[in-house]
Amino acid sequence: MQARYHPLDDRLPGMLRSGRALRGVFNSLPSPAIVEMCGYAGFDFVIIDNEHGSSGLETTENMLRAARASGIVPVVRCLRQDISRILDMGASAVQIPMVASAAEARDLVQQVRYPGVGRRGSAFSPRAAGYGAFPGGAHTERSNAGIALIVMLETPEAVAQAGEIAAVEGVNAVFVGPNDLSHAMGYGSDWHSPQVEAEIERALRAISTAGNCAGVIALTPEDEAKYGQWGARYFAGVTTGLITHALQQASAAGGRLDKVASLSY
């Protein structure tokens, strides 16, 4: 009998523990093709953005299929009320915005893990369990060990607790959201201001010191190098920014694609 291909990609927790730099992109466009393109481009992961993106749940599931087909690990940034359905669709991780405390992080661990570790409702009929092809204890064990929880710190209050949040068992990575942090601090979108950068550094160092994987948006190689020195290893760009920049270059070159400089990130 031919081996069956499991729909749930369970590589991410190990990747986050590996100590190596991981590079991916946020994608807010409701397009499985964009997800495939990210996979074929060689990124380690794609974050399907259901906080700010326009994808419905059916399109999200199709983007998860596209990720599995192209070999890229799919993370879904989603709101708390959608965690169960997103995981049942077969996401490798959920990335939850605006986590403010260690207590909130512990509650999220409970939502993401099945009984024995947490309180996630058990079902074997959705895609994550192969629509019943991979049921029972094996699915529960694979999910509890192979699904990652990534929490986002986006306020000064959260940054002050970064070490405690990072130390919560079951949190696989902690991501600093610089734009919301900058707004919360009163600096608008200027997350490169010295005051905001000091808080980003404080958070990344605290997460790394706690033994967890620190993440942040890195839009340039210079950003990645700087944040890497502060302890970050999980770096995310933005697909819309990359696409818009490429189109602007093409427009400035009169539509001559051969005149468009290759993108460095």
Q: How far apart are CA 25 and CA 218, in angstroms?
A: 10
pTM of the model: 0.93
- Helix and strand numbers, DSSP H then E, in the chain: 12, 8
CATH 3.20.20.60 at 20-259, yes or no: yes
Low-confidence stretches of the chain (pLDDT < 50) are 1, 262-265
State in Å, rounded, how far the first CA of the chain is from the last one: 43
| Paired sense of beta strands 22-27 and 93-96, if any | unpaired
Please tell me the predicted confidence (pLDDT) of residue 47.
Answer: 98
Tokens of 258: 């051969």
- Give residue 81's identity as a one-letter amino acid code: Q
Is 52 part of the annotated catalytic residue set? yes
- At residue 30, the 3 state secondary structure works out as coil
Please tell me the predicted confidence (pLDDT) of residue 240.
Answer: 84
Tokens of 176: 């600093």
26 exposure class (CB count in 10 Å sphere: 0-12, 13-18, 19+): buried
Annotated catalytic residue within 52, 183, 192, 245? 52
- Whole-angstrom CA distances from 135 to 6, 35, 142, 184 are 11, 28, 11, 44
| Paired sense of beta strands 22-27 and 73-77, if any | unpaired
Please tell me the predicted confidence (pLDDT) of residue 255.
Answer: 65
Q: How far apart are CA 181 and CA 211, in angstroms?
A: 23
- Give residue 103's identity as a one-letter amino acid code: A
Please tell me the predicted confidence (pLDDT) of residue 192.
Answer: 94
Write the pLDDT tens digit of every residue in 37-72.
Answer: 999 999 999 999 999 999 999 999 999 999 999 999
- Whole-angstrom CA distances from 181 to 59, 142, 157, 209 are 30, 35, 10, 21
